[in-house]
Chain A
Amino acid sequence: MCYDIQGDILNKRITKEEIEKLYLKWKTPKHVIAHCRAVASVAVTLGRELNKNGYSLDLSLIRGSALAHDVARVEEEHALKGAEILEGLGYCEEAAIVRVHMTYPRFHEKDQIDECDLVCLADRLVREDRYVGLEARMEYIMNKAPVSEEIKAHIMEGKARTKSFIAQIESVIGRSIDSLLDIEGRLGELLKQVEKPGRYIGGEVNAVRKAPHSVRARLAFAFPDLYEIGMSYLGLQILYDAVNKTEGLYCERVFAPAPDMAALMRREGLPLFTLETKTPLAEMDMLGFTLQYEMSYTTILEMLELAGLPLYAKERGEEWPVVAAGGPCAFNPEPLADFIDLFLLGDGEELLPQVLRLLGECREQGLSKRDFLEKACLLPGVYVPSFYEPVYNSDGTIKELCKLYAGAPDKVLKNIISDLENASFPLKPVIPTIEAVHDRSVTETFRGCTRGCRFCQAGMIYRPVRERSKDKILALAKGQLEATGNDELSLLSLSTSDHSAFRELTLELMDYCKEHNVSLSLPSLRIDKFAFEVLSRIQEYKKSGLTYAPEAGSQRLRDVINKGVTEEDIYTSVAEAIRLGWRHIKLYFMIGLPTETYEDLEGIAGIARRIMDINHEINGPGGGRFRLTVSVSNFVPKAHTPFQWERQNTPEEFAAKHRYLEQSMKIRGVTLNYHDSFTSVCEAVFARGDRRCAKALLAARRLGCHLDGWSEHFRRELWEQAFAESGIDPEFYAFRERGQDELLPWTHIDCGVSREFLLRERKKAYAAETTADCRHGCRGCGINKFVACEQEGIYGH
């Protein structure tokens, strides 16, 4: 019936959806379905590995026939019956494989390996629903039922043939099949050789277990840093929870392995795997990277490498998972555009499950990755970089952005959750096994900030302010504490004190925490009268010191950056603190800000001196054991801020300023900290870089850069070499002021705040004019075109 097929029918492949229907129709038992799926995943993994080495095997054919090979298991002669069924539907190639799978006579020679070889081999390596390898599988067959000597000999012969076929494959892929498939069996040996094995084991309290084959789409949430860093990040817990709450979806986790583990995995050929089920990343439907800071980009490449994925999106065909990325850095996605299939912009707790559901549907219907991306780019907040291509001017600036797919939106607007009150929030966060950086419950009180500091990207891209009600916050905090047994609670927002019910909320939380022996921490607290009241009641408060962030040393420069703090406020507050017994004050400043002069730097030293004087006035000439820490960071201009056009200081300028501050702050009791300036340069290049910067990332990775956010792993000389080799000039990307009419690499990414607003703010900055918080009335940033601003004018106009 299908001998006269046409080419196009030949290429028609059975879809997952159709196979599901067949399982139902032919009453395939559950355990047999699980077996089929395991065989499919082993066969596809082998096929993928061979394709990497020059073969061009049809992975859909492999997957389809493996999934269907035992569909008629309850019938007599199930292989023949299965083949008949498939033939009846027009799937002749699948049928041909299913027909022979029980009696497969001979594997092909190395240069002629075909799809049938792989399905039949996989079937011999899987017992029930697990890869066990040839030996274990054979032992099982021999012991299953008493067999005659003759059959035994026959089986042994088959085993020998299979063994030599395995050797052939291994010689092609350059590694053992075991190393590719038997992760669980080999992980123990690796864990015994690394410093903190607890980073790689999973199984934590509240970690989610689902049967991988029972879901429609599997996501590996990938955090490009170590376990203990990633597990302290609330965003991971929110998205993990939101996806796993959704039926049919499974979110697992993966973190960057530390250098010792990464080296072992490379040496042993063990691919990067998920913590929950120890599944190689290549087998997931989607990998989702979170982009928290630019200096994690090389680690993303390293993780892709360790997972065995081709780095460039265009080199990852149908057989590879979709690679997605989201988080604050996605607002200038361009430096990663060549590596990532799609970016998610804005609030993710609804968008991510939506995208995954879509992917599951597309996969079931046998649609291609391209089909999926075309559908996905219509969702709010989804940016598919391959649908656009920038064209450059001869001076290196961007001439225009060409759209390669007409259906893609011209501008991608971030996704916005308008109702945070009812947004998904994890009540049972995963509890890290090894001590995380922050081992505590965290409750998000509000999203967004409208103070309008002009250097701050978070203050722009998370607009507008959306609050959770006091009662909701209390309920979430209590729920989390009860479900985790944590003894510390922290509130999360961009500016703790700005919640509209902050006072009542804090008082109630304090009572609750006191009663339950929980310590409460209130980060980025504004130190005013109420704060002292609160802090004096919170246990052990004097240990940690008080923090102020004036950001700039003079009133003029503070007005330029729109940081609404006056020196008098600080001095009054510090005096009060010292009188109440504080012995440690921390100050945060930024240097290299637009219009900055040495007078402004002198202002920083002046503030430090004044605070030391205040201490002497209160504590006498000895001054007690008072310490002042001044931390100075380097200004990095960021996309979507009023300062997105500004130039960054060169490392030499920063160094001179650091020297100046060191000289002028040789004050007893004052410690000065500053950041490495070349790290800030790298950050600046990628924060406002375009697609060409991918070359620098790749070069840096090839030279061995990873975990660059860690000062002990950051290697300046390698980065300098990477920039030189790739022709990416920090001068062009970081130190150059950009023309106001220049097309910026992120022009097509819309965070909702208008360019006109940013320009207006920039102009006011140069005039040292401030802009008040829009809680005193709307300042016209533009976000209210898309969502109502519930906080607008609540302080009175």
Chain B
Amino acid sequence: MATSFVLKFSKSGYARYTSHLDMLRFFKRAFRKSGIALRYSQGFNPHPRMGFAQPLSLGYAGANELLEFETASEHEAEQILRALDGEMPEGIRIISVQAFVPADFHIRSLAAATDSADYTVLLPYSCSQEELDKKLAAYLSQKEIMVQKRRKKDKKLVAEDIRPKLRSLSGRADGKSAALTMTLDAGSTANLSPELVISSFLVSAGLDIPRYKIDVVREQINFVNNLQF
């Protein structure tokens, strides 16, 4: 029995086009419907203690997404899983629920402990493995990878080197398409969006592929202290 949990779910198919806020609304409702009361924050505008480890961009699939939440009373993880299962729209599947107390691992929350994330990017790019490897090597051998980025605070475009935040990048080609696998900084200290890697790689590789033909899957979120779910 516990009051603090992590729920792992996947998001695929058309559900990819459900926004982050709509996902929050959706889970909030699913909890209400299942009769499992969430714990609410104190204060003037109370809201349920529930949040995603990392928001997932609109249009991305997620293989192992994480939602942390606290319940008002004690529950078994298994019971929560059963109660929520069957309430999901097409494309959202709950993989597991487990009790998890952040303080036990000396962290405030999963969101605060997010360190990096693994992505797969699918490009409709027909090439040989050799060709792909060459393009990737050329891309990675750059000392700096400068991109234009809109700053949050004043919306100004600023140049930024993303190379230090790009932890690893490799690819597989099957002649019809290419799948890039990458691990990028994620979290509040340093964060790199796959969008910037995609656009700068396409430029470096001299590829003209419209963004809408590219699919992105977030495979996994990684945390400090080697926390795993």
Q: Please determine whether B211 and A192 come into contact, CB atoms closer than 8 angstroms.
A: yes
User: Number of residue pairs across A and B with beta carbons under 8 Å?
Assistant: 64
Contact A484/B212 with A197-B17, A433-B18 known, Cβ cut-off 8 Å: no
B31-70, CB under 8 A of A: which get 1 and which 0?
1111000000000000000000000001100000000000
Contact A205/B88 with A431-B29, A485-B31 known, Cβ cut-off 8 Å: yes
Q: Please determine whether B33 and A482 come into contact, CB atoms closer than 8 angstroms.
A: yes
B25 at the interface (CB under 8 A from A): yes
A479-490, CB under 8 A of B: which get 1 and which 0?
000111111000
Residues in B neighbouring A197, C-beta threshold 8 A: 17, 58-59
Q: Do most interface residues of chain B lie in helix, strand or loop, or is the interface mixed?
A: helix
Residues in A neighbouring B105, C-beta threshold 8 A: none
Q: Which of A188, A193, A434, A485 contacts B18 (CB 8 A)?
A: A434
Residues in B neighbouring A201, C-beta threshold 8 A: 14-15, 17-18
Q: Please determine whether B58 and A485 come into contact, CB atoms closer than 8 angstroms.
A: no
Q: Please determine whether B212 and A434 come into contact, CB atoms closer than 8 angstroms.
A: no
B144 at the interface (CB under 8 A from A): no
- How far is B11's CA from A433's CA once the two chains are assembled, in angstroms? 14
Shortest beta-carbon distance from B19 to chain A in Å: 6
Shortest beta-carbon distance from B223 to chain A in Å: 29
Residues in B neighbouring A484, C-beta threshold 8 A: 29, 33
Shortest beta-carbon distance from B20 to chain A in Å: 11
The number of residues on chain A lying at the interface, defined by a beta carbon within 8 Å of a beta carbon of chain B, is 26
Contact A433/B59 with A192-B211, A198-B22 known, Cβ cut-off 8 Å: no
Q: Please determine whether A203 and B89 come into contact, CB atoms closer than 8 angstroms.
A: yes
A518-532, CB under 8 A of B: which get 1 and which 0?
000000000000000
Residues in A neighbouring B90, C-beta threshold 8 A: 202-203, 207
A189 at the interface (CB under 8 A from B): yes
- How far is B21's CA from A482's CA once the two chains are assembled, in angstroms? 23
B213 at the interface (CB under 8 A from A): yes
B229 at the interface (CB under 8 A from A): no
A435 at the interface (CB under 8 A from B): yes
Residues in A neighbouring B15, C-beta threshold 8 A: 201, 203
Q: Please determine whether B17 and A198 come into contact, CB atoms closer than 8 angstroms.
A: yes
Shortest beta-carbon distance from A434 to chain B in Å: 5
Nearest residue (CB) in A for B21 is A435
Residues in A neighbouring B88, C-beta threshold 8 A: 205
Q: Please determine whether B22 and A205 come into contact, CB atoms closer than 8 angstroms.
A: no
- How far is B29's CA from A439's CA once the two chains are assembled, in angstroms? 11
Shortest beta-carbon distance from B108 to chain A in Å: 28
- How far is B211's CA from A198's CA once the two chains are assembled, in angstroms? 19
Nearest residue (CB) in B for A200 is B17
Q: Which of B21, B32, B211, B215 contacts A485 (CB 8 A)?
A: B32
Kindly list 7 other residue pairs between chains A and B, CB separation below 8 angstroms, not including A193-B212, A485-B29.
A192-B59, A198-B17, A201-B17, A203-B90, A204-B89, A205-B89, A431-B29
22 A–B contacts, CB within 8 A, in A order:
A190-B212, A191-B17, A193-B212, A197-B17, A197-B58, A198-B17, A198-B22, A200-B17, A203-B14, A203-B15, A205-B87, A205-B88, A207-B89, A431-B29, A433-B26, A433-B89, A435-B25, A482-B33, A483-B33, A485-B30, A485-B87, A486-B32
Question: Interface on A for B, CB 8 Å cutoff?
Answer: 188-193, 197-198, 200-205, 207, 431, 433-435, 439, 482-487
Question: Interface on B for A, CB 8 Å cutoff?
Answer: 13-15, 17-19, 21-22, 25-26, 29-34, 58-59, 87-91, 211-213, 215
